[in-house]
Amino acid sequence: MAQAKSNHYDGSDIQVLKELEPVRKRPGMYIGSTGPRGLHHLVYEVVDNAVDEALAGFCDKIDVWIHEDNSVTVVDNGRGIPIDRHPVEKIPTVEVVLTVLHAGGKFGGEGYKVSGGLHGVGVSVVNALSSRLEVYVKRDDGEYAIFFERGKTVKKLHKVGAAKGTGTTIKFWPDPEIFTETLVFEYETLMNRFREMAFLNKNLKIVLNDERTPDESGAPKKEVFQYAGGIQDFVKFLNVGKETLNKPIYFEAENEDGAVDVAMQWSTSYSTNSVLAFANNINTQEGGTHLDGFKQAVTRTINDYARSKGFLKDKDNNLSGDDTREGLAAIVSVKLHEPQFEGQTKTKLGNTEIRSLVQTAVTQGLAEFLEENPKPAKRIIDKATQALKAREAARLARERSRKTGALDSFTLPGKLADCSSKDASLSEIFIVEGDSAGGSAKQARDRKFQAILPLRGKILNVERAGLHRALSSETISALITAIGTNIGEDFDAEQARYHRIIIMTDADVDGAHIRTLLLTFFYRYMPELINLGYIYIAQPPLYGLKKKNSRSIKIDKYLFNDNALRKEFAELEDPDKYDIQRYKGLGEMDPHQLWETTMEPHTRTLLQVSIENASEAERVVSDLMGDQVEPRKEFIQKRAKEVRFLDI
């Protein structure tokens, strides 16, 4: 058959060439990148298709296997991709679905689909970017198979044998010609994604199997995700280890525009960024109309209730949105027929009609809960009232200190060595630990576009301190004024004074701690800056190699981690010829070294910070930085084996 193909083209071949070639030419256009993120998107795309079957009510179990050779199999018990002859293309429908761009959507019919952003591009994209892909369909009492290589059919649809039930199995091998960076799937990344999927689709069972890491008996590592409570279980999960104020509140509503599911639960924590919003199962990290509607409804409903019950007096100010959301973990999940995704990362929902659906549902559901549950209602109002008092006290304190000139939020912090450029898109700020490293960085920098802000000692852990104390901390307010955006409800990304905010700490345990504290701060109070891609981590070298006996003070080679050092040793003919210097801190490098290794845009490496999975980030931040000791211990113990070198 393959031979016949070389000198005989039929219509389907031409179709394939025409349709899938652009995907291989510009994979980034379809899956975002050809790095690890894009690689994982291949799995999401196939699983999303199976979840669509679940949303349509035909599938309740999805099995994912990661094989030893890093190929992946996704098995579902849905209807099975149709195998009948496609009326237009004149080939089996399953072949059309796998070889024609966007073909999947044409057959979907009614119902909601997981689509938008990078998702929903269709399984044909996965096919185009796989060196091999095999599809097995169970339907009509038989099992059928069809095979592809790099998007081209290499074995036509054929019957394998008799079979009971229905379903689809897709096995694919990501193409090394496309994914040049890595072909290795990360268990944790996939696990987090599938857990989230299972929360969002009540009762759907997703099983992840990893054959690369079998246990003693040889069985693959396995995790089962299935939640009878759906998003109520999701908020419980977000609040594990926290002291909660109410049982999860849950309500749902539906009209011709779409459907909404909401779960919410307050805890005594101070976090204000634990509301996760989804549209058709896609995490809308940049928010949008559904989240706006939710916030407006919560603020108004809580204020109305507090006033009507006399918790707020006539003379009292209204509770702000931030006040009402302090300690709130919530999931807002909407399903709509034609979601419009906007924003920098295409994760902002634009459909205006969904705003009022969410607003009405939340107003009704929350008001009813408060009326019927006076005790938890009182705890929730008390929590918001305390937040309001703390906020007003912090404002008074700020005004007092402004009068005395101690802290003026309209002038830049004295420690900041600003850059001369006023064009934010060209400007960057290095946040440096300690005055001595700050001194080196100030000498090293290009003052035209690089600003330096030295931090004195550790910054406050905002996860445990709460907003009011955070604002009265000098370090934190210096950070906020230097960046220029303000925080919380007053946050305005347009006011950012720098489009690159670079955390530059020492390569030791203290440095890592300060970095975590800063990331916690950004995650909680300026998450938009992370979404905009403004937050970076500098990569100073760990080692400098210099030829022995060389008169020059010049370092011949910089190494950025222990692996690189090990590799270098393995490759060097005669290591004795080199002196190895280990940099314990930024202060040990002279300004020129710091410049060329870490700050010079053409030679440095920066890590861009992203919120790959918001609910996981949420959990890690509250586990690591919150006030409960046990989850932190667990997290550290789980990771202990991954830590190779601790420098204390």
Binding residues vs ligand 0RA (CB under 6 A): 49-50, 53, 76, 78-79, 81-82, 97, 104, 107, 123, 168
Of the candidates 199, 238, 70, 282, the one whose C-alpha atom is nearest the C-alpha of residue 615 is 238
CB of 74 to ligand 0RA, least distance (A): 7
What element of type H or E holds 196?
helix 187-200
| 8 Å CB contact between 626 and 268 | no
Tell me, yes or no, if 508 is annotated catalytic. Answer: yes
Q: Which is nearer to ligand 0RA, 50 or 384 (CB)?
A: 50
- Cα separation, 230 vs 329, in Å, equals 15
| 8 Å CB contact between 62 and 207 | yes
Of the candidates 60, 336, 362, the one whose C-alpha atom is nearest the C-alpha of residue 202 is 60
Q: Which is nearer to ligand 0RA, 153 or 301 (CB)?
A: 153
**Beta pairing partners, 544:** 558, 581
* Cβ-based neighbours of 206, under 8 Å, separated by 6 or more: 47, 61, 62, 63, 64, 194, 197, 198, 224, 225, 226
CB of 160 to ligand 0RA, least distance (A): 17
Catalytic residue among 506, 528, 618, 623: 506
SS3 (DSSP) at 285: coil
Tell me, yes or no, if 446 is annotated catalytic. Answer: no
Q: Which is nearer to ligand 0RA, 94 or 542 (CB)?
A: 94
- Cα separation, 136 vs 554, in Å, equals 61
Residue 166, Cβ neighbours under 10 Å: how many? 18
CB of 112 to ligand 0RA, least distance (A): 14
CB of 151 to ligand 0RA, least distance (A): 16
Tell me, yes or no, if 590 is annotated catalytic. Answer: no
Tell me, yes or no, if 110 is annotated catalytic. Answer: no
Catalytic residue among 89, 510, 588, 616: 510
In the chain, the largest separation of any two C-alpha atoms, in whole Å, equals 88
Output the residue with the shortest Cβ distance to ligand 0RA.
49
Please name the residue that has the structure tokens 């036509």. Answer: 156
CB of 262 to ligand 0RA, least distance (A): 29
Catalytic residue among 433, 463, 528, 618: 433
Q: Are strands 142-149 and 152-162 parallel, antiparallel or unpaired?
A: antiparallel
Rg (CA), the chain: 28
Q: Which is nearer to ligand 0RA, 109 or 218 (CB)?
A: 109
CB of 166 to ligand 0RA, least distance (A): 8
Sheet strand arrangement including 328-336: 249-255, 258-266, 328-336, 275-279, 282-283
Q: What are phi and psi of 283, to 5 degrees?
A: -70, 110
Q: Which is nearer to ligand 0RA, 66 or 361 (CB)?
A: 66
Please name the residue that has the structure tokens 């946050």. Answer: 491
Catalytic residue among 292, 508, 600, 612: 508
Q: Which is nearer to ligand 0RA, 95 or 618 (CB)?
A: 95
Q: Which is nearer to ligand 0RA, 81 or 118 (CB)?
A: 81
CB of 94 to ligand 0RA, least distance (A): 8
Q: Which residues are marked as active site?
A: 433, 506, 508, 510
